[in-house]
Amino acid sequence: MREELISVIVPVHNGQAYLKNCIDSIEAQRCDHLEILVVNDGSTDRTAAVCEDLNKSYGNVQVFALDDVGVSAARNYALLRAQGDYITFVDADDRLCPGVLKYLYERINATESDLAGCRFVSWSTEEDWDRIRADKRQGERADGALVQERCFDSYQYLRDSILQDNCRCWSKLYRRSLLAKVQFREGLTVGEDTLFLVDLLPYLGQAVETEYPGYGYYQNPAGVMQRPFTSTYMDQIKCWELAQKEILRIDGELKSVTTAKIITAVMLTAGKIAACPSGERQKADAYLKKCREILGEQMQVKSSAAYLPRGYWLKSKWFYFLPGMYVRCYGILQAAKRRLSGGK
């Protein structure tokens, strides 16, 4: 690898159980010019102690402490302090597969792109991770000629990548110049990645996405998407509503597909509420009503039905016209699934 510096930004909140393994996987990337910026965002467990140990163990780890400002503000804070020519984001409970930063660096330069992305591999146990690492060792000979990839201009990246559910800010390496005029919109916790990528589009010349399986996504049972409903789940609706405004400035013909994204976000949020115990569900009733109100507005764009996941248009109509029955049936179904899987 040449002399350019890569900055890795790792926001963490109560990640004492995961952070060291995450940082170890980054340090194992075989990159001589690497800085790691860890932002401890208001952790109340032993994360601060883990950060201190990492700072002592690795000379290229910088640690910053914030007062629970949220993941978007934490990333922005680190972006302002990063010195790298290239920047990437890693969540504290995830890990990087061996060699991925070198691979993305090579692809971003070989294709003269502004960002390079790779495929992620999900895991939930150390045994899963060991199997992934073993597969990666067998495939480390992979290069651009052996791994499928596709280059996109800005509009193609919107239509054929972001709107095809490649909405994550992680598993990508960015040129610093691309991020110079864009930050994460703060105060948003779920769906902020999508909005960040959409905000990048006016400055994006070319992107390359590869099938290289380089990012280890941990299916964390305590992660944001796995937790019981909280008001922050409404952010995924808000983010798609804000993203739609930006996207329609680029191409007004994308109204149907972006509306389908909003409907999907509404139904996922309503499902979270429906899965709550009855007492918690009653407390969230105002959010459920808001979901139904937004859904009614979006269903006016009937052409969006063609872009919804299978069965979602029918589920959407059921929820809108018979919300009480939908919520009760959905709650019963989820409770049955938990019992069958051995959960509570």
Could you say which of 171, 189, 218 is where a domain stops? 218
Domain's final residue, options 172, 197, 218: 218
pTM of the model: 0.91
**Mean pLDDT value across residues 191-210:** 97
Give the percent of the chain with pLDDT over 90: 81
HSE of 118 in the Cβ direction (CA atoms, 13 Å)?
30
pLDDT in tens, 286-300: 999 999 999 999 999
Predicted confidence (pLDDT) per residue in 242-254, tens digit: 999 999 999 999 9
Asked if residue 235 and residue 123 are part of one domain, the reply reads no
Domain boundary among 195, 218, 241: 218
- Whether 344 is covered by a domain: the verdict is no
Q: How many domains does the chain have?
A: 2
Q: What is the pLDDT of residues 9-46, one digit of tens each?
A: 999 999 999 999 999 999 999 888 999 999 999 999 99
66 and 181, same domain (yes or no): yes
What's the pLDDT tens digit per position in 123-177?
A: 999 999 999 888 754 445 444 446 899 999 999 999 999 999 999 999 999 999 9
Domain-embedded: residue 223: no
Asked if residue 1 is part of any domain, the answer here is no
pLDDT reported for residue 248: 98
Which domain, by its residues, includes 187?
Answer: 6-218
For residues 184 and 251, state if they share a domain.
no
Same domain, 15 and 163: yes
Q: What is the mean pLDDT of residues 176-201?
A: 95
